[in-house]
Amino acid sequence: MNIFVILKQTFDTEEKIVLDGEKVSEDGVKFIINPYDEYAVEEALRLKEQHGGLVTVISVGPPRAAEALRTALAMGADEAVLISDERIPADEYSLSTVLAACLAKESADIVLGGNFSVDQGSGQVAIRVARLLGLPHVSSITKLDVAGGRADVLRDAEGDTEAIEVALPALFTAQQGLNEPRYPSLPGIMKAKKKPLRQLGLDELGLPEGSFAPRTERLSLSLPPLRNAGQILQGDLKQQAAELVSLLRNEAKAI
């Protein structure tokens, strides 16, 4: 079974976001595997343990993204591919086009990814990849069982659960609760140094110029406004209600 995992390197969720102009500053920042992608890596490893096969992790990003791929290799993945090219825009359409071009050259039985990334949160890339490759897909999965060329899946449906059966090959995105990702062991870290990590650019993928042009444009980037301190309303209930209405109308401009 050939299992591929789409993986992204993101800010550590404990990091404080600092803007440098209209860009997020990366000075001194710790980067990690996107937490939802960790569930995808873990599920790929469990499928390999049950059914055998090969787990390959793929990422599009700057050279530093190799660190996240090495972490996935230390967890137990077999191979890694880093697609790094300054010409690739940070746009969901562009990223999915590049990933689909890479995966189209492979014979994948299952493609896994995170439900969304904690930095952008769009949840588009993996689903777009499925569309470009013509694969059935199920998002936000919390359980995955594979047998006989088919997959039985449970997916989170905003507080409810849906049961879905799909034929393989297929693509799935992992939701929290799918599993508990393992930590890389010391032997795993040592083995990861010897596992193959290929680096590709747009020229190797054979994508014609313009085929990965962005479909969106960022106009501005800013931090949310600082929250004002809370207020305790004084007086009886009638006075408090009147003051609350006044604050909502005159200060918050909510009514």
Same domain, 79 and 195: yes
- Shared-domain flag, residues 179 and 238: no
pLDDT at 69: 97
Same domain, 244 and 134: no
What is the pLDDT at residue 66?
A: 96
Residue 182: per-residue pLDDT? 95
Q: Please tell me the predicted confidence (pLDDT) of residue 99.
A: 97
Q: Is the pLDDT of residue 55 over 90?
A: yes
Q: Quick one: CA torsion of 234, 237, 238, 240, rounded to 10 degrees?
A: 30
Same domain for 41 and 130, yes or no, is yes
As a whole number of angstroms, the distance between CA 157 and CA 103 comes to 28
Domain co-membership, 66 together with 134: yes
Among residues 171, 188, 205, the one where a domain terminates is: 205
Same domain, yes or no: 126 and 83: yes
Is residue 91 domain-resident?
yes
Looking at the domain assignment, is residue 100 inside a domain? yes
Indicate whether 26 and 75 sit together in one domain: yes
Higher pLDDT, residue 19 or 193: 193
Residue 225 maps to a domain: no
Is 217 a member of any domain?
no
Give the mean model confidence (pLDDT) for residues 23-52.
93
Residue 200, pLDDT > 90, answer yes
Note whether residue 53 is domain-resident.
yes
Q: Is the dihedral of CA 200, 203, 207, 211 positive or negative?
A: positive
The parent domain of residue 85 ranges over: 2-205
Q: Give yes or no: residues 74 and 192 share one domain.
A: yes
User: Which residues, 6+ apart, have CB-to-CB distance to 164 below 8 Å?
Assistant: 138, 152, 153, 154, 155
Encode pLDDT of 128-143 as tens digits. Answer: 999 999 999 999 999 9
Q: What angle do CA 196, 6, 83 make, to 5 degrees?
A: 55
User: What's the pLDDT band for 172 if we cut at 50, 70, 90?
Assistant: very high
187 and 246 together in one domain? no
Please indicate, yes or no, if residue 220 is contained in any of the structural domains.
no
**pLDDT tens digits for 206-223?**
888 889 999 988 888 888
Together in a domain, 199 and 234: no
Assigned domain for 18 exists: yes
CATH number at residue 185: 3.40.50.620
Query: How many CB atoms are located within 10 Å of the residue 96 CB?
Result: 23
pLDDT for position 96: 96
Q: List Cβ neighbours of 196 (8 Å cut-off, separation of 6 or more).
A: 79, 80
Residues 198 and 236 in one domain: no
- Over 80: is that where the pLDDT of 191 sits? yes
pLDDT in tens, 3-31: 999 999 998 888 888 888 778 888 888 99
Report the pLDDT value the prediction gives residue 224, as an integer from 0 to 100: 82
In terms of domains, do 90 and 180 share one?
yes
Number of domains in the chain: 2
pLDDT averaged over every residue in the chain: 93
pTM equals 0.87
Residue 219 within any structural domain of the chain: no
| % of the chain exceeding 70 in pLDDT | 100
Determine what percent of the chain is predicted with pLDDT higher than 90.
74
| Per-residue model confidence as pLDDT tens digits over 93-124 | 999 999 999 999 999 999 999 999 988 888 99
pLDDT at 251: 83
Average pLDDT over every residue of 232-255: 89
Q: Is the pLDDT of residue 176 over 90?
A: yes
Over residues 34-62, mean pLDDT: 97
